[in-house]
Amino acid sequence: MLAAAEAAAVARTRLPVVFIAFGAEEPRSDTDSEQHHFGSREYVRSLGSRQRGMFAG
């Protein structure tokens, strides 16, 4: 992700690009399906509907 961010920093893009890493968001067990991704879910909720896009690697 850092290499992609460095490449994007010098590139001209039509829209803003934001690189964000959220850590420790994986479910802890098979029964823990809703108790994860709090930070990333809140971040996506804070965006306007036209500002959403994602690449997960």
> Which residues make Cβ contacts (< 8 Å) with residue 36, sequence separation at least 6?
25, 26, 27, 28
Q: What is the band of 57 on the pLDDT scale with cuts at 50, 70, 90?
A: low
Q: Would you state the pLDDT for residue 55?
A: 61
pLDDT in tens, 9-56: 898 888 788 888 887 777 676 776 666 777 777 788 888 776 666 666
Euclidean distance between CA atoms 19 and 53, whole angstroms: 11
Q: Would you state the pLDDT for residue 33?
A: 65
